[in-house]
Amino acid sequence: MTDLARLAVDIGGTFTDIAMEWHHQGVLERHTVKVLTTPAAPEQGVMAGIARCLTETAKAPADIGILIHGTTLATNALIERKGAVTALVTTEGFRDVIALGNESRYDQYDLNIVLPEPLVPRWLRLPVPERLNAQGSVLKPLDEDAVRALLPVLEKEGVESLAIGFLHAFVNPDHERRARDIIAAARPGLPISISSDVSPEMREWERFSTTVANAYVRPLMASYLYRLRDQLKEMKLTAPLFLMMSGGGLTTLETAARFPIRLVESGPAGGAILLAEPLQLAR
């Protein structure tokens, strides 16, 4: 009896790797395929690699029981600055948080270090009056008219994705959610990432910058993932698809499309997990 095969895909900047493993008569068999990555449409390389893997193993799409996908696409988009035109709506007085950063530097003792520019330029960091205290109580209600006044700015600047980060929103997300709902009602096709969903933790720079990065790569990653889903259906490969996260866990395609920041470094995480297995067996 032959078990259903497990299929894994990893997209790198140069190569897309496909690995399949299955048990046949009690023996674990593996097969790998390497194809060139197709940067303009990464799903093309994935589908070509899967088709080649199926052909070389004489298997059909119905023989696949699960598909696990890791990728550095989000990482590369951040490094190469190839994400969407992104704006940040934030608490009045805090538009420069993502530029100020914190004391952490990749070269701690370089006094002349030049840090990367923020993903959102200053003219697209859009402050609105509102304020919560550290306990989440309202000090100043959200100015909903000020939020609506941003809509022409988003249109004029060609904003493709929006991040919303308010002070202390990790304690009370109401203002962020209301701002999101106001903008979404007027711009239903605009992807909106709010910090209380993306990174609900204290410290504004960490939360805001993570939310901005999520918004920056979200259109790219969501578009890719949905195209991949559709082409897998056309191939009749209906096995569950899971995405590898940075911490080594798995998530669904829908969650990955909403929170692609969780996929950054998923490729290296998968490699570390694969390496750990033989090391554990050797003990």
Q: What is the pLDDT of residues 87-100, one digit of tens each?
A: 999 999 999 999 99
Same domain, 173 and 115: yes
Average pLDDT over residues 5-30: 92
Over range 181-202, report the average pLDDT.
97
Same domain, 199 and 240: no
pLDDT above 70 (res 190): yes
* Domain termination residue (choose one: 166, 186, 215): 215
CATH number for the domain harbouring residue 264: 3.30.420.40
Edge-first strand order for the sheet with 161-165 is 125-128, 86-91, 161-165, 192-194
Domain that holds residue 270: 5-77+222-282
CATH number of the domain enclosing 175: 3.40.1360
Domain check: are 159 and 263 in the same one?
no
Q: Alpha-carbon distance 89 to 83, whole Å?
A: 18
Domain count, the chain: 2
Q: What pLDDT band is residue 25 in, cutting at 50, 70 and 90? A: confident
Percent helix, strand, coil in the chain, to 5, is 40, 25, 35
Strand partners, 88: 125, 163
Q: Lay out the sheet containing 64-71: strands in order across.
A: 27-36, 15-24, 5-11, 64-71, 241-244, 250-252
Q: Looking at the structure, tell me whether residues 121 and 136 fall in a common domain.
A: yes
Confidence of residue 102 (pLDDT cuts 50, 70, 90): confident
Q: What was the pLDDT predicted at 2?
A: 52
* pLDDT value, residue 248: 86
Distance from the Cα of residue 33 to its chain's centroid: 25
Residue 131 shares a structural domain with residue 208: yes
Which distant-in-sequence residues (6+ apart) come within 8 Å of 196 by Cβ? 169, 170, 173, 176, 177
125 shares its domain with 196: yes
Q: What is the pLDDT of residue 271?
A: 73
240 band by pLDDT with thresholds 50, 70 and 90: very high
Nearest-angstrom CA–CA distance, 59 and 160: 41
| Domain end point (choices 168, 197, 215) | 215
Q: Domain check: are 162 and 196 in the same one?
A: yes
Q: Are residues 205 and 227 in the same domain?
A: no
Q: Please tell me whether residues 206 and 89 are part of one structural domain.
A: yes
| pLDDT for the residue 1 | 38
Helix (H) or strand (E) holding 275: helix 266-282
Q: Are residues 30 and 89 in the same domain?
A: no
Tell me what the pLDDT averaged over the chain comes to: 93
pTM as predicted:
0.91
Nearest to 253 by CA among 74, 121, 69: 69
Cα-Cα-Cα-Cα dihedral sign, residues 133, 138, 140, 146:
positive
Same domain, 45 and 147: no
In the predicted model, what is the mean pLDDT of residues 212-238? 97
Low-confidence winner among 70-84, 159-173, 210-224 (lowest mean pLDDT)? 70-84
CA distance 57 to 93: 60
